[in-house]
Structure 1
Amino acid sequence: MTRDEIITYCHNEYNSEITKPFKHFPNYVAIRHLNGKWFALIMDVPADKLGLPGSDKIDILDLKVDPELNSILQTQPNFLPGYHMSKAHWITAILPRFKTIDELADLIEGSFSATE
């Protein structure tokens, strides 16, 4: 799955605002409620900074989740603790490991609801 698919989905499904909040990281994209709160953050991060092999940049998606769900998701190979976010409340999805938006739609919905 690509970052563009996530951005398009969130914009269409949630009428979200798409911003690039970090001057030094122009590929980082915050997906926000119209009130400015973000519910998703897309980043490209070197694999080794995520504890993965290699140094190529990988697209990741941070989403807010309930701490209990977070601990369950972190045991699955497609997820990591929230990158540069609260490790208890945010989860990182490794985007290339997902084929369709349907695999993340419920988590995106949960993050949207949890950040309203």
Structure 2
Amino acid sequence: MEADRPFKHYPDYVALRHPNGKWFGLIMNVPADKLGLPGMAEIEIADFKVEPELNSILQVQPNFLPGYHMSKVHWITAILERFESVAELADLIEGSYEATQ
């Protein structure tokens, strides 16, 4: 796995990539209102690729949103502050890695 900051105008965004350069995750800080949430504070989120069936299940849970700036059918956004640790997202990270090879 490789991580880099691909956007000059968004230096805090981190892309998670396969060795071949293909993304399997994107970590961003986005104003709450751009996510359809109240307020203007920046919220740290991560996008991961998931199967459409899992996506429809996760989107109705409070810790997730439809993929931000990604296909809303194949990508899910996790609101990072709502998770205790990265371990809680391990299955999503692994699944996204496998789905994007």
TM-score normalised by L of structure 2: 0.98
- Deviation string for 1:50-95 (max 9, x for gaps)? 0111101010000000000000000000000000000000000000
2:77 is equivalent to residue 92 of structure 1: yes
TM-score normalised by L of structure 1: 0.86
Shift of 1:102: 2.0
2:33 is equivalent to residue 48 of structure 1: yes
The number of residues matched between the two structures is 101
2:2 is equivalent to residue 17 of structure 1: yes
Give aligned-pair identity as a percent.
73
Per residue, is there more strand in 1 or in 2? 2
RMSD: 0.6
**Structure 1, gaps ≥5 residues long:** 1-15
Structure 1 outlier segments of 4+, above 2 Å: none
Per residue, is there more helix in 1 or in 2? 1
**Structure 2, gaps ≥5 residues long:** none
